[in-house]
Structure 1
Amino acid sequence: MEKTPSKYWILAGTFFTSLSSIIIRFSNAPALAISAYRMLFTCLMLLFPVLYRNKNEFSEISAKDFALCAASGFFLALHYASWISSIQMTTIANSTVLVACSPMFVAILNFFIMKERPSYRMVIGIAMSLAGTFIIAMGSAGGSQNSMMAGNVLAFLGAIFVAVYLVIGGIVRKRLSAGTYVFIVYSVSAVVLFAMCIAGNIPIYPYPAREFVLFFALAFFCSILGHTVYNYLVKYFSSTLISVSTLSEPIFASIMALFFFSEIPTLYTLAGGIIILAGIFYYIVTQNKEKI
């Protein structure tokens, strides 16, 4: 019998994904170019390991599962395009808080698609975490009004797109290995993002070596050690649980923004962060009791 991994690995994945906003802020490249190269480098890092371990699975995949993987990759591309753009237009706190609203949409989608009824413990955990995100948002400031408004909208759209991506992953990962699934999803996402660059006249090349180092860091730390961990664990845990756990990303990102960009967390951030982590801890710890 296959051993179920620890659910606390979800928080490890969240820490690595939280590095995204910091690395992106260091880059001077357009958001679409950052997104496209992040996915390209991720695919290149996965190419040989996945082909070595899962080459037979590619020939056996059904048309339905491939279509679902492609759809997941499409929504992941939209998520990166919108959210990375938001990082360049609003504060790190605003962007990470608003994109962390994805559990609302995951829970809604799972209710209609997977018939996954939210338990009262789940509702309490989500409510606590979302309350924390709103408290942080109230204390976020900086940047021009118009730019921040556009960035906030893009971050919120990013939450919707990543929710669809997570729900599709929860469906397909029941039948496909993590390696096969993520390689198809990331490859489709890379193609879509480069196509968006070409359509939008965004330069693909050249960029300074420094930018390619940042692209590689995004791919390795945030995609391989972050999103790929999510896609591995979504076979064993509800996509709602995973999306709720990602609400801790604003906490990690805000702490790192303090050190790297002197963005001092406000009392709103500190208070909201405590509530978010409390909600996540409550949900994860009590999840097993729901099955009794």
Structure 2
Amino acid sequence: MNKLKYLVLVGTFFTSLSSIFIRISNAPSLVISAYRMLFTILMLFIPFVLKYRIELKNIKRQDFILCILSGIFLALHFATWITSINMTTIANSTILVSSSPIFVALANYVILKEKFTSNMFIGIAMSLLGTTIITLGTAGGLSSSMMLGNFLAFMGAIFVAGYLVIGGIVRKNLNAGTYVFIVYTASTIVLFLICLLTDTPLYPYSLKEFVIFIALAFSCSILGHTVYNYLMKYISATLISVSTLTEPIFSSALALIIFKEIPSMSTFIGGTIIISGVLYYITSQNKPQL
């Protein structure tokens, strides 16, 4: 388990690339989300049919419903968070969306009766403090667009928390391949429906855009989210969600190099507090309390 928990950071690195791809794309956020998930399930289709189709036939109704609900949460996460990236800074967006451990820990405490340790409390409290500093720092700028972007990123954190909590429950009964295929398929359908309901054009888009969609699917969904879902069976969803708070380190560094986007002082201070809380929480998990 000690080795597996560090594999979360591999998934985090690849998910951190998503903000860069999204910023480069000129397509609407809903379209980016929908095609990202469509190409993801296309990449997974053959492995799923060859290895997991029998499990799908025998899936329990309750598990199937939970998978669909997880897919809805994932779709709403992408719809809100991806929209936020073009309305606020990449640092703000990735840090705020990574505040999900607050909601994951609370949900696991209420639903799964997961032990709420002092180490968990300290780590989450530091994350909440850092998130508050970033939000207040942005509020001083009186930018309505940026404030809305921050709010959408925060809503993205709530939705991804639901996705992670359900994953922690269902993965105890299903293989990762079956789980992610159902969840990603449900998410794809929901996102395309939202595009249709909001009259968001699904075509035409340039070859460059489709390359970005495919890159998002492979690096961020397959090598990112799917790694998380694999680990759900072995590691607490709370630990996984807390570990993803390291994503802003990668995203902000890449944004600085590629877009010359320098984080504000409030983002730097708040982010430092959040990351410190993450590191404290992860290192404290060497004790067998998961």
TM-score range, shorter chain: over 0.9
The equivalent residue for 1:261 is 259
Separation (CA, whole Å) in 1 of partners of 2:40 and 2:184: 7
Paired position in structure 2 for 1:278: 276
Q: 1:189-229 deviations in whole A, cap 9, x for unaligned?
A: 00010011111111111100000000011111111111101
Distance 1:19 1:238 in 2: 24
CA distance in 1, matches of 2:188, 2:123: 34
Q: Could you tell me how far apart the structure 2 residues matched to 1:144 and 1:31 are?
A: 24
Assess, with a 3 A threshold, how the Cα gap between structure 1 residues 259 and 141 changes in structure 2: closer, same or farther.
farther
For residue 95 of structure 1, report the CA deviation from its aligned partner.
1.1
Alignment of structure 1 residues 75-90 onto 2, 5 Å: 75-90=73-88
Structure 1 letter corresponding to 2:81: W
| C-alpha distance in 2 between matches for 1:208 and 1:262 | 26
CA contact (8 A) 1:109 1:167 kept: yes
2-structure distance, mates of 1:187, 1:212: 19
Q: Distance in 2 between matches of 1:212 and 1:203?
A: 14
What is the DSSP-based 3-state SS (H/G/I as helix, E as strand, rest coil) of the residue aligned with 2:5? coil
Contact 2:2 2:286 in 1 (8 A): no
Say which of 207, 210, 213 aligns to 1:209.
207
Q: Give distance in 2, aligned partners of 1:92 and 1:216.
A: 21
In structure 1, list runs of 5 or more residues that go unmatched: none
Letter in 1 for 2:252: S
Percent identity, aligned pairs only, is 63
8 Å contact kept, 1:89–1:147: yes
Name the CA distance, whole Å, in 2 between partners of 1:69 and 1:246.
Answer: 21
TM-score by length of 1: 0.93
Aligned residue in 1 for 2:121: 123
2:62 aligned residue: 64
- The match for 2:109 is 111
Q: Which amino acid is 2:263 matched to?
A: P
Which piece of structure 1 moves more, 105-114 or 29-38? Answer: 105-114
**1:116-195 to 2 correspondences below 5 Å:** 116-137=114-135, 145-195=143-193
CA distance, structure 2, for counterparts of residue 268 and residue 8 of structure 1: 28
Per-residue CA distance 1:8-50 (angstroms, 9 max, x = gap): 0111111111111111000100111000000000000111112
Distance 1:90 1:276, change over 3 A: same
Deviation at residue 267 of structure 1 after TM alignment: 4.4
CA distance in structure 2 between the partners assigned to 1:235 and 1:32 by the alignment: 30
Indicate conservation of the 8 Å contact 2:22/2:82, yes or no.
yes
The answer on whether the counterparts of 1:10 and 1:230 sit within 8 Å (CA) in structure 2 is yes
C-alpha deviation, 1:5, in angstroms: 5.4
Cα RMSD of the aligned pairs, angstroms, is 2.0
1:223 corresponds, among 221, 224, 249, to 221
Q: Do 2:92 and 2:267's aligned partners in 1 also have CA atoms closer than 8 Å?
A: no
Asked if structure 2 preserves the Cα contact closer than 8 Å seen for 1:91 and 1:140, the reply is no
The one-letter amino acid paired with 1:16 is F
Instruction: Give the distance between the partners of 1:103 and 1:271, measured in 2 at CA.
Output: 19
TM-score (normalizing by structure 2): 0.94
What is the deviation of 1:135? 4.0
- CA shift for structure 1 position 279: 2.1
Q: CA deviation at 1:127?
A: 2.1
Alpha-carbon deviations, 1:243-273, whole Å to 9, x = none?
1111111221111110111012344444444
Q: How many residues align?
A: 290
Contact 2:70 2:162 in 1 (8 A): yes
1:138-163, CA deviations, whole angstroms, 9 ceiling, x for partnerless residues?
55599981211221111111111100
- Corresponding residue of 2:41: 43
The unaligned stretches of length 5 or more in structure 2 are none
In structure 2, give the amino acid aligned to 1:76: L
Partner of 2:196: 198
The SS at the match of 2:239 is helix
Match of 1:7 in 2: 5
Separation in structure 2 between the aligned mates of residue 176 and residue 161 of structure 1, nearest angstrom:
22
